[in-house]
């Protein structure tokens, strides 16, 4: 695994501005790589993940962050609203209807004008499952026996239409894993 994925660097000034001293919620924090970028920038982070193994690694890497073992589909921690929520490579394991519900749950957990930074698999992510696997539903495949969703630009626009102000919607090839990975990155604000 490669730790040279610097996707958050260009967004740190905006994240800091939006946070104003509040904690960032990171959905699907995994090994804690993004958590570390955020805490190194002086931000407080609450990370959730449904894997004990990943959380143990994240806690070892970023002992100053707060972590919760939690399935994001079962809700988000705390009853408070967040100014910034991040979900990098964690929201593409659900059926389409559940993905829509999850995006709505994120929106409901954000302050008005709160910021959501999200990355998901692109349909062009051929190295990590978008081709050669059994299709369960449109852009939803069984990859190594587990469901995995891939998104095109229209999917992304559908997810963020209505009560979102999209600041940036771009497809990127990232250098995070053994092979190049293609993702959609959306940076959006909750309207109203």
**Please, which residues bridge with residue 165 across strands?**
189
Evaluate whether residue 4 is within a structural domain: no
Residue with tokens 């709160």: 114
Evaluate whether residue 3 is within a structural domain: no
Cα 139 to Cα 122, 149, 177, 184, 190, distances in angstroms: 9, 6, 22, 14, 26
How high is the pLDDT of residue 78? 65
Query: Which range has the worst mean pLDDT, 3-7, 121-125, 139-143, 144-148?
Result: 3-7
| CATH number for the domain that contains residue 137 | 3.40.50.150
Distance CA(33)–CA(61), nearest Å, equals 8
The domain containing residue 61 runs over which residues? 9-190
pLDDT, greater one: 45 or 3 = 45
The total number of structural domains in the chain stands at 1
Evaluate whether residue 178 is within a structural domain: yes
Evaluate whether residue 1 is within a structural domain: no
Token pair, residue 116, equals: 């959501």
Evaluate whether residue 93 is within a structural domain: yes
Mean pLDDT, the chain, as a whole number? 91
Rounded to 5 degrees, φ, ψ at 131 are -135, 150
Evaluate whether residue 133 is within a structural domain: yes
The yes-or-no verdict on residue 87 having pLDDT over 90 is yes
């Amino acid at each position: 695994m490669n730790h040279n994925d610097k996707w958050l660097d260009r967004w740190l000034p905006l994240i800091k501005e939006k946070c104003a001293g509040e904690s960032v919620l990171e959905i699907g924090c995994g090994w804690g790589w993004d958590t570390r970028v955020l805490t190194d920038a002086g931000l407080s982070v609450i990370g959730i993940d449904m894997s004990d193994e990943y959380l143990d690694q994240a806690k070892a890497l970023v002992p100053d962050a707060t972590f919760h073992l939690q399935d994001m589909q079962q809700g988000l921690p705390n009853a408070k609203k967040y100014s910034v929520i991040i979900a990098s490579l964690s929201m593409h394991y659900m059926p389409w209807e559940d993905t829509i519900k999850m995006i709505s749950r994120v929106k409901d957990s954000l302050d008005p004008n709160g910021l959501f930074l999200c990355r998901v698999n692109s349909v062009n992510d051929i190295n990590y499952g978008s081709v050669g696997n059994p299709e369960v539903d449109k852009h939803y495949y069984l990859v190594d026996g587990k469901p995995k969703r891939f998104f095109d630009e229209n999917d992304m626009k559908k997810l963020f239409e209505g009560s979102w102000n999209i600041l940036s919607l771009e497809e990127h090839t990232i250098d995070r894993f053994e092979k190049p990975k293609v993702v959609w990155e959306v940076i959006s604000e909750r309207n109203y």
